[in-house]
Structure 1
Amino acid sequence: MSSNLPTVLVIDDEPRSLETLRRTLEEEFEVLTAENAAEAEGILEREWVQAILCDQRMPGETGVEFLSRVRDRWPEVIRIIISGYTDAGDLVEAINRAGIYQYISKPWHPDKLLLKLRNAVDLFHLQRQNALLSTELKLRPETVAEDLEGKRRLLQQRFDWDQGIVRGPESCMNGVCDLVRRVAPYDVSVLVSGESGTGKELCARALHYNSLRRDGPFVAENCGALPDELLESELFGHKRGAFTGASEERVGLFELADGGTVFLDEIGEISPAFQVKLLRVLQEGEIRPLGSNQRRMVDVRVVAATNRDLEAEVRAGRFREDLYYRIATFTINLPPLRDRPKDIAVLAHSLLDDLQRQLGKRVDGISRETLACLEAYHWPGNVRELQNELKRMLVLAQDAILGAELLSPRILQGADEEGTDDLAIVSQTEGSLKERIESLEARILKETLIRHRWNKTRAAEELGLSRVGLRSKLERYDLEKVDGMEELKSTGRAQ
C-alpha cells in the first residue's frame, strides 16, 4: 500500500462496530476491514499487516479459532481480541491457543485502544529487528566475537587502575591505585569506604576489570534504596506469587553475576535481619530465591561499599561482626575531594571531555581563574558535585572558555580551603569584629568581581561604590593580584 502508516486489520461482523473502529484508528493507522474470517484471511494473503484486532463472537468461527490459524501461517502478526464477554475460559484459551497479545473488553476507550495498537505495532517491529539480528549473528559469528572483544578491551582500558582512575602525578590517590592493582587479581572480597561521590563504584569496576573475572558480568545494587523484601528479590530472585506484585519469576543479581562480580553499594544501610541472610549466602556460596525451596550455587566476587564507619557500627552492635570480616578481607579508603586539590584540574578537564560528548556542546577549555576557584572550594559532594558544576557551566557557556563568572554562587562565595560560609566567618570566636567584617567584605568583593569578569565599573555599581572606592578596597585587601587573572582568562586556555 502507498501509505507510510502501519497497517491494522480489523475484523467484526457488525458493520457499525467496524465503522466505529475504523474511524477511531484511521488517523494513526492504515485500517483494513473484514466482516468475517474468510474475508480477513484473503486480506492477509495480499497485504502486509502488522496487527489484527478481531472480535471474539462471530458467526461460524470465533475470533480465537481464526487467530489460532493466523498464528500458524503469519506468526509475526500481533493478535488482539476484542469482546463484550469477559469469560475467564475465553481469556485462558485466547492466550494459550492463539497467542493473544491483548484481550480488550467492550465498551472500549478510544485512547486506551490506540495506545494498545501503538504498542502492538512497536512489538511487531521489534520482533522483526530481533529476527534480523539473529540471522546476522548466525552469518557473522567471527565479526560479532571481534566486536565483543573490542568492547571488553575498551572497558578494561576505561577502568584500568593506572589510566581509568583520573589523578595528578603527586596525587594521594596513587596509593589507592597501587592497592587496587595489587588486590584486583586475587579472588577476595573488598570493602570500599569513602564519602558519597568519591568514586566507590568506579573503584569497584577497576577491581573487576583488572581481575580474572573481567570477562564475566559486573552488576551493582544500592542496598540502601530498597526495603528488605525487595532487596532480597533483587539480589536472590523470586518465584511467581512469592509476594504481592510478583507476577512473574525473576532471576536475582547474584545469579546473573555468576562468574563475575557483585557490587553492593551502601551496605551499611541493610537491616540486621537481612545481614543474616546475606552472611549465609556469602558463607555457603548459594542462594534461594523468594518462594522457592531450591537452592542454587553461585560463583561471585563481592565488592561492597559504604560511607559509614563500619568498625564503629560493629562496636555499636548495628552491624554484624562476622559479616564485616566476610566482606572486608581488604579495605580500600577513598579520600574526599577536598584532600585532593592537586587532582582537581586534571579531574575537571577529564569530566569536561565526557560532558561535551554527552551534551554535544564543545568549548576550548577552562580558565585558570575558574580552576583556582575550583581548587579552593571544599566540595562536600566530592567528584559528583564537581561533575554537576561543570555540566551546569557547560550548559550556560556562551564563550569558548569556561570562565569563573559561570560558577555557582556557593563556590564563588565559599572558595576557601576550610569551606567556611559567610555566617561562620562572622560568628567565629577568634578575631575582632572589625577583622571578621573585613574578611567577609573581602569575599563579597572577590565574588562580585568574578561574576562581572573583573569589570570594576559594573562591580562598583552593584556594590554602591565609586570606582575610586572600589580600587581602594582592592588595594586594602590585596585583591589586585587576583585581578591579573583577567588577562589569563582572555588570552588563552587552561594549562
Structure 2
Amino acid sequence: MSMTTPRPSILVVDDEVLSLDTLARILDEEFDVHTAPSAAAALRCLEHDYIQAVISDQRMPEMSGVEFLARVRERWPDVVRLIVSGYTDADDLIDGINRAGIYQFITKPWHPDQLLLSVRNACRLHQLQRENEVLALEMRITTPTLEQRMERRRAQLKRNFRLDTISRTPASPLNQVCDQLAQVAPYDVPVLLTGESGTGKELFARALHYNSPRADKPFVAENCAALADDILESELFGHERGAFTGAVNARIGLFEQADGGTIFLDEIGEVSAAFQVKLLRVLQEGEVRPVGSNRRRRVDVRVVAATNRDLYRERRVGRFREDLYYRLAGLCLHLPPLRDRRVDIPLIARAILKELVETLGKGCRGITDEAMAGLQAYDWPGNVRELRNEVQRMLIMAPGDLLGVELLDPRLLRGAVRRDQDRTGAEAPGATPAPPPVPGGLKEQVEALEERLLRAALDRHGWNKSHAAESLGLSRVGLRNKLERYGLVPKTDA
C-alpha cells in the first residue's frame, strides 16, 4: 500500500463571496482549502483545524485584515500569514509587518500564478519552521547523549594510553621510560622523545597527553619531515584566504587546533634552519601568525617533539639551533629499539594481532611458540612498524586460524642467523656461543634459534628459572615444558 503526502491546509478569509470562491477555486488544485467569510468564522476554524497558512483580505467589516492576522500571530504564531489588499500605502505595509508579522502582501489585481507561488512558499516556510522545531528538540535531547558519548571515548582513550599498561613485561627496559613519563606527565614542560624510527614515539606522546591535565583537550600530530617549509608553515600556523596560489579558503593551523592541548612534532630534526627560527619565535612568544595575516593569535599548547637524530650532537656542530633545542628538550627520553627489548616482542605481537583481527575481520587464535621464537630472534631494524607489517602479512597469508612458523618471512631467519654468526667470538664470558648453521627446513632452524634463546637467558640469569622465564615473557610452567622439550640442562665443567 503506497502512502501519499497530505496536501498543505490553508485558510482563505474574505467577506466578499465572489472573491472568496475565486481564491478557493484556484488554490484547490494544490491545497486543502478552508474558507471563512469573516474574521470570527476564521478564528473558529483555526481552533478546530490544522492550518499552515492564512490568506486574508485587508478590508473587512468586523476588523481589518491586519488586526485579524495580529490575533492569529498571538494564538497561532507558527501559522504563516499573507494579506490581499488593493492598497499599497507604506504605512499599511509597515503596520502589517510590525503588528501581524505579515509574510507577504499580495496586491490586487493578482495573477493566479503569482498567487499559487506565494502560497507554495508560505507552506514551505511553515514546513521548515516545524523541521527546525524538531531539530531543536532533538538537539536538546541528544546533546547530553553526545556529551556522555564523548566522555566515554575520553575515558577509553585514557585507559588505552595508561602508562602502566603500555609495557606489562616485568623485565622490559621500557618500564623505566614509562615510569619517567608518568612522573613528567602532570607537569606542563616540553618533552623530547628520541629513538630509532618505528620505536613508538607517537604512542608515547599520546600516552603523555592522556595522562596529563590536558587530556580533555585536543592532541594533534604533524610529521615535519614530510613537508616543505612553506607547506609546513601553513599546516602548523594556518593561512588566510588568498595568502598564496591555491589558498581559496582560510585555514586554522595545528597550533590553534591544539589550543589547550598537546601538539606532537615528529621528526623535528629534519626541519630547515629557516623554519627553526619561525618555530622558535612561536615557542618563545606563545603566538602564531597565519601566513598572509598581520594579526598574531595567542595559543596555549604543550609541545612534545620526536626525532631519530642525536639533536644534542646536532646542536654542537651547528645543524640545529641551540636555543630551539632547549625550548623543546625540557625533558629528554630515549626509547630503546626493539632488538634491545626482545622480551616485549610477544606482548607487542599479540596486541598487534588482536588489533588486526578486528580491523581485517579475519579470525585467528594466536601465534605458535615456534613462530614467536622466530620473531624474537630477529633484530627488527624497522622496530615495531616492521613487526606490525610481518604480523599483518602472516595473518593475511595464514590458511588456518593459527600463525605458525611456516608463515614467517625467510628473511627473518636469515637475519637472525647472520646476527648469531656476526656475534660469534664476541660473546661475554660464560655466554652460549653461536651454533653453526642448522641443516633442514624452516621449522628446524626456528627450533634451533628458540633453543639457543632459552639457553642464553638461563645462562644470563645463572639458571634461575623464575628470572629467565620473566625475561622471556614465559610462565614457569611454559619454561619447564620447553626445557623438557629441548632437553636443556646446565653445562658442567669437565
Q: Distance in 2 between matches of 1:239 and 1:72?
A: 42
- Identify the residue that residue 380 of structure 2 maps to in structure 1: 379
Return the offset for 1:392: 0.5
Cα distance, 1:451–1:170 mapped onto 2, change above 3 Å: closer
Give the TM-score taking structure 1 as reference length: 0.61
- Identify the residue that residue 445 of structure 1 maps to in structure 2: 440
Cα distance, 1:451–1:212 mapped onto 2, change above 3 Å: closer
SS at match of 1:445: coil
Q: Which amino acid aligns with 1:149?
A: E
Equivalent residues of 1:217, 1:261 under 8 A apart: yes
Q: Distance in 1 between matches of 2:238 and 2:323?
A: 24
Count of residues in Structure 1 that have an aligned counterpart in Structure 2: 332
1:400 counterpart = 2:401: yes
Note the 1:184-203 alignment, pairs <5 A: 184-203=185-204
- Identify the residue that residue 158 of structure 1 maps to in structure 2: 160
Q: Distance in 1 between matches of 2:355 and 2:386?
A: 15
Return the offset for 1:429: 11
Which runs of no fewer than 5 residues in structure 2 stay unpaired?
Answer: 3-29, 31-116, 427-433, 448-480, 486-494
SS at match of 2:345: helix
Note the 1:99-248 alignment, pairs <5 A: 136-163=138-165, 165-248=166-249
SS at match of 1:326: helix
Q: Deviations over 1:162-221 (max 9, x none)?
A: 11x134111000100000100000000000001000000000000000000000000000
Return the offset for 1:364: 1.2
1:249 counterpart = 2:244: no
Equivalent residues of 2:190, 2:327 under 8 A apart: yes
Return the offset for 1:143: 1.9
- Identify the residue that residue 474 of structure 1 maps to in structure 2: none
Q: Distance in 2 between matches of 1:416 and 1:299?
A: 51
Equivalent residues of 2:240, 2:251 under 8 A apart: yes
Which runs of no fewer than 5 residues in structure 1 stay unpaired?
Answer: 3-41, 43-65, 78-127, 431-437, 453-483, 489-495
Q: Which amino acid aligns with 1:327?
A: L
Q: Distance in 2 between matches of 1:71 and 1:225?
A: 55
Return the offset for 1:71: 13
Equivalent residues of 1:172, 1:340 under 8 A apart: yes
Equivalent residues of 2:167, 2:175 under 8 A apart: no
Equivalent residues of 1:264, 1:304 under 8 A apart: yes
Cα distance, 1:376–1:71 mapped onto 2, change above 3 Å: farther
Cα distance, 1:379–1:75 mapped onto 2, change above 3 Å: farther
Cα distance, 1:251–1:71 mapped onto 2, change above 3 Å: farther
Cα distance, 1:417–1:285 mapped onto 2, change above 3 Å: farther
Return the offset for 1:293: 0.2
Equivalent residues of 1:374, 1:415 under 8 A apart: no
Equivalent residues of 1:193, 1:334 under 8 A apart: yes
- RMSD in angstroms over aligned alpha carbons? 3.7
Equivalent residues of 2:338, 2:380 under 8 A apart: yes
Note the 1:312-461 alignment, pairs <5 A: 312-416=313-417, 418=419, 442-443=437-438, 445-447=440-442, 449=444
Equivalent residues of 1:167, 1:347 under 8 A apart: no
Q: Distance in 1 between matches of 2:251 and 2:297?
A: 14
Q: Which amino acid aligns with 1:309?
A: D
Q: Which amino acid aligns with 2:163?
A: W
Q: Which amino acid aligns with 2:348?
A: L
Cα distance, 1:450–1:145 mapped onto 2, change above 3 Å: same
Q: Deviations over 1:77-121 (max 9, x none)?
A: 9xxxxxxxxxxxxxxxxxxxxxxxxxxxxxxxxxxxxxxxxxxxx
Runs of 4+ in 1 over 6 A off after TM superposition: 69-72, 74-77, 130-134
Give the TM-score taking structure 2 as reference length: 0.61
Return the offset for 1:365: 1.2
Q: Distance in 2 between matches of 1:134 and 1:365?
A: 50
Cα distance, 1:131–1:216 mapped onto 2, change above 3 Å: farther
Return the offset for 1:446: 4.6
SS at match of 1:398: coil
Q: Distance in 2 between matches of 1:379 and 1:76?
A: 64
Which one has a bigger Cα radius of gyration? 2
Q: Distance in 2 between matches of 1:258 and 1:230?
A: 20
Q: Which amino acid aligns with 1:357?
A: E
